[in-house]
Homo-oligomer: A and B are copies of this chain.
């Protein structure tokens, strides 16, 4: 699944966050609808954002828009 050669971002979610985000994403995969079903989901998503902010360098660099566009493109390329 990882893009070849890409650095990895290690995230330590606690099990509550992991389970609640799993359910959120499972619903999206099954229904095609993105919805928040419980305040605990909001908290889990906010915590995940906080973890990503701590790990990532790109969001605070001048090339954010380009880095984002390239990442989206690589992810959506046919395998």
Contact = CB atoms under 8 A, between A and B. Distances in A.
Nearest to A34: B34
A14 B18 contact: no
Chain A interface residue number, banded: 35 or more
A22 B59 contact: yes
In the assembly, how many copies of this chain are there?
Answer: 2
Contact of A75 (B12, B16, B53): B16
A76 interface: yes
21 contacts: A1-B47, A2-B17, A3-B14, A8-B13, A9-B14, A10-B10, A16-B71, A16-B75, A18-B56, A19-B56, A19-B67, A19-B68, A19-B71, A20-B68, A20-B71, A22-B49, A22-B56, A25-B45, A25-B52, A28-B45, A39-B76
